[in-house]
Amino acid sequence: MNNFHINTKCLHSGYTPKNGEPRVLPITQSTTFKYDSSEAMGDLFDLKASGYFYTRLQNPTNDAVAAKIADLEGGVAAVLTSSGQAASFYSVFNICGAGDHIISSSAIYGGTFNLFSVTMKKLGIDFTFIHPDASQEEINAAFKENTKAVFAESLSNPSLIVLDIEKFAKAAHSHGVPLIIDNTFPTPVNCRPIEFGADIVLHSTTKYMDGHGTSVGGVVVDSGNFDWTQNDKFQGLTTPDESYHGITYTDTFGKGAYITKMVVQLMRDLGSIPSPHNSFLLNIGLETLFLRIQRHCENSLAVAKYLEGHDKVSWIDHPGLESSKYHDLSKKYGATCGVISFGVKGSRETAVKFMDALKLVSIATHVADCRTCLLHPASTTHRQLSDEQLRNAGVTPDLIRFSVGIEHTDDIIADIDQALAQI
């Protein structure tokens, strides 16, 4: 589908019905698949033949949606996961193990920070966190002999810091490791990190991709560009896997090596697959992704401009505003979305009073939904972080994460206006 525009791909990639087949991607709600002979089934288990046999590994609905997202990001292959958290874990764990080291941006989603700094640490994987604004020298200084990847968000949740993707890609590649990007906030409609040198891209599809707040999910996309054989850091991909009779992923699967290994090892052993029904819903969301993202961005810019001029607002950040420190980087990479962060003048209680006074806008542990919603990260998603960790994540105690939906702009602004009048 490579010649189509991205809005056409949103509708048509991943599934092309043949004569007489359903026009809409069908839900294959079956755990298992039938074969005529044991030998045919055995070949699938040995990875000698490809085909469906058990939905924990592969399912036609899941695969079609994964292929659509791979195409939207400009990658060669993808795998859907049951959550964004699983996608973050798999993206890293697929190429590292106990004794390895990963460099991560400090401005990442609170759940990812916890996964890296607590849970994966227990598995013996060591992380160094660096600020996304770090200079090339500072990034280079963070590398160790056992570093296996660099991880960052293209547009950070909730601090809205735009990553200089090319700078991080250069640093990663000069040390022979891939750059892994969480592209949840901009989505491939606005930003395609692979075009700027990222090797692996992942998403919490729970956010804009699903868009309607129906299904938790994630996806990992491989660009196919990283040469895993250039050094001996990635032996899980470049040496024989005894659990599959000595298959070597890079030899047998070429550009599909990373995603194949993720499916046949991590999905086999850990099993974070989405239900085909959730993938069906995700696909419906993807069909309108382009239209929704356009409206989210228009609306959020209008709301940001309104807030910028309001005397009860102490500060505001949105990469689309010219006053944003990240405006130029945002224009270069397309890293923007419908999320705004801001603070109201006064105490923490003032912020709570403002939030409680909203009528149309709802308080929800969610972001990037078609309905406008907001959240106070310091007391919710980021509450486990110390003050210093909060600062490094770009989250001030008064930060309100405001996720602008696709309602009429005037209605959203009127609701904010009446709530601000009450504080």
| Least separation in angstroms between CB 36 and ligand PLP | 39
**Residues 344, 337: contact at Cβ < 8 Å?**
no
Stretch that binds ligand PLP, among 81-89, 115-123, 254-262, 324-332 (CB under 6 A): 81-89
Integer Cα distance of 129 and 134 in angstroms: 11
Element (H, E) at 122: helix 120-122
By CB under 6 A, tell whether 154 contacts ligand PLP: no
Name residue, tokens 């709530």.
419
Residue 47 or 216 with smaller CB distance to ligand PLP: 216
Stretch that binds ligand PLP, among 17-25, 203-211, 243-251, 308-316 (CB under 6 A): 203-211
By CB under 6 A, tell whether 83 contacts ligand PLP: yes
By CB under 6 A, tell whether 157 contacts ligand PLP: yes
Integer Cα distance of 219 and 81 in angstroms: 6
Look up residue 159 and give its DSSP letter.
T
Question: According to CB under 6 A, which one of 94, 154, 190, 206 is a site residue for ligand PLP?
Answer: 206
Burial 200-230 (b: 16+ CB within 10 A, else e): bbbbbbbbbbbbebebbbbbbbbbbbbebee
AA identity, residue 315 = W
Integer Cα distance of 382 and 109 in angstroms: 8
Residue 75 or 84 with smaller CB distance to ligand PLP: 84
Kindly state the tokens that stand for 199.
């090797």
Contact flags string 384-403 toward ligand PLP, x per CB under 6 A: --------------------
By CB under 6 A, tell whether 184 contacts ligand PLP: yes
Q: Which residue is nearest to ligand PLP (CB)?
A: 84
Size of the site for ligand PLP (CB under 6 A): 16
Look up residue 246 and give its DSSP letter.
T
AA identity, residue 143 = F
Residue 59 or 83 with smaller CB distance to ligand PLP: 83
Nearest CA to 9 out of 404, 266, 288 is that of: 288
Stretch that binds ligand PLP, among 83-91, 166-174, 258-266, 325-333 (CB under 6 A): 83-91
Question: According to CB under 6 A, which one of 133, 153, 222, 317 is a site residue for ligand PLP?
Answer: 153
| Least separation in angstroms between CB 155 and ligand PLP | 8
Contact flags string 100-139 toward ligand PLP, x per CB under 6 A: ---------x-xx---------------------------
Look up residue 63 and give its DSSP letter.
H
| Least separation in angstroms between CB 91 and ligand PLP | 11
| Least separation in angstroms between CB 57 and ligand PLP | 21
Integer Cα distance of 165 and 222 in angstroms: 16
Element (H, E) at 204: strand 200-204
Name residue, tokens 């590292």.
96
Integer Cα distance of 104 and 115 in angstroms: 12
Question: According to CB under 6 A, which one of 132, 186, 197, 218 is a site residue for ligand PLP?
Answer: 218
> Under the rule (CB under 6 A), what is the footprint of ligand PLP?
83-85, 88, 109, 111-112, 153, 157, 182, 184, 204, 206-207, 216, 218
